[in-house]
Structure 1
Amino acid sequence: MSAARLRVRRCRPPAPPTGHPGAGQGLHRRAPVRPGLTPGRIAAAHHMSLRALHALFAEEPDSVAAHIRRRRLRRCARDLRDPRLAEMPVLARATRHGFGDIRGFERAFRAAYGMTPGRYRSGVHE
Structure 2
Amino acid sequence: MRLSVVMVVAMLGLAGCREQASKVSLSGNAMGTTWTLTLRGHTPTPTLQSQVEAQLDQWERALSRWRQDSALTRFNAIRSTDWQDVDVHLARAVAVAQDVAEKTDGALDITIAPLVHLWGFDAKGPPAVL
TM-score (ref. length: structure 2) = 0.30
| Larger relative helix fraction | 1
Larger Rg: 2
| Larger relative strand fraction | 2
TM-score (ref. length: structure 1) = 0.30
